[in-house]
Amino acid sequence: MEPYAPNQSLSTTHTKREVERELNQAIIGSHQALVEATTVFPFTLIPDSIIVDREKLTVAHRIFFRVAEVISIRIEDILNVTADVGPFFGSLKISTRFFDPDKPYNVNFLWRSDALKIKRIMQGYIIAIQKGIDMSMLATPELAKLLDELGKADPNDEI
């Protein structure tokens, strides 16, 4: 199949339907969150949010009411996710192909459990992609559970 150019029409309705079906599947997948978290209120006046879905990781850094910097990173472009945790709170450091390796993107003041869960799911996702595993047939809750298990540093260790 040749790529679609703006000045060309699709040759058949069958091809157009295939494209529409694939786009609809991508849209559905991008609306199914594997994990979501928000920063803790007293430390951030207007809480930030982080969402991991089947296609991307999205961070909304809220600056003021109804004002935000939203960054979306394709899962394939994420190299590593590190969690720094204390007794109550945690933060994430996200390293990608596009950010300066010495300055990863940070999300601070998450609940400890949220930071660890996002880190495990992202590490599991990175491993699964590197191994070429097709995860499209799994239901979202099942996928989140399996990626969480795959991303654990030690199956017997509860950090």
What digits encode the pLDDT tens for the residues 19-71?
888 887 777 767 788 999 999 887 778 888 999 998 899 999 988 888 888 99
Q: Is residue 106 assigned to a domain?
A: yes
Beta bridge partners of residue 85, listed in sequence order: 90
Residues 62 and 137 in one domain: yes
pLDDT at 13 over 70: no
Helix (H, G, I), strand (E, B), or coil: what is residue 123? helix
Residues 145 and 80 in one domain: yes
CA–CA gap between residue 67 and residue 56 (Å, rounded):
21
What letter does residue 101 receive in the DSSP assignment? T
Residue holding tokens 């590490």? 123
Place 11 in a pLDDT band, splitting at 50, 70 and 90: very low
Residues 17 and 43 in one domain: no
Contact yes or no for 51/125 (Cβ under 8 A): no
pTM equals: 0.79
Place 4 in a pLDDT band, splitting at 50, 70 and 90: very low
CA–CA gap between residue 63 and residue 54 (Å, rounded):
27
Instruction: Give the residue with greater pLDDT, 56 vs 159.
Output: 56
Q: What is the pLDDT of residue 22?
A: 80
Residues 64 and 111 in one domain: yes
Residues 19 and 79 in one domain: no
Contact yes or no for 125/103 (Cβ under 8 A): no
Residue 125 main-chain phi, psi, to 5 deg: -65, -45
Percent of the chain with pLDDT strictly greater than 70: 86
Q: What is the pLDDT of residue 28?
A: 72
Q: Per-residue pLDDT averaged across 80-95, rounded? A: 92
Residue 149 main-chain phi, psi, to 5 deg: -65, -45
Residues 5 and 41 in one domain: no
CA–CA gap between residue 60 and residue 97 (Å, rounded):
20
Q: What is the pLDDT of residue 83?
A: 93
Residues 96 and 53 in one domain: yes
Q: Is residue 112 assigned to a domain?
A: yes
Q: Is residue 143 assigned to a domain?
A: yes
Q: Per-residue pLDDT averaged across 70-79, rounded? A: 91
Place 158 in a pLDDT band, splitting at 50, 70 and 90: low
Total domains in the chain come to 2
Contact yes or no for 55/26 (Cβ under 8 A): yes
pLDDT at 90 over 90: yes
Instruction: State the amino acid at position 144 in one-letter form.
Output: A
Q: 118: domain range? A: 32-150
Beta bridge partners of residue 36, listed in sequence order: 51
Residues 59 and 2 in one domain: no
Residues 100 and 137 in one domain: yes
Q: Is residue 83 assigned to a domain?
A: yes
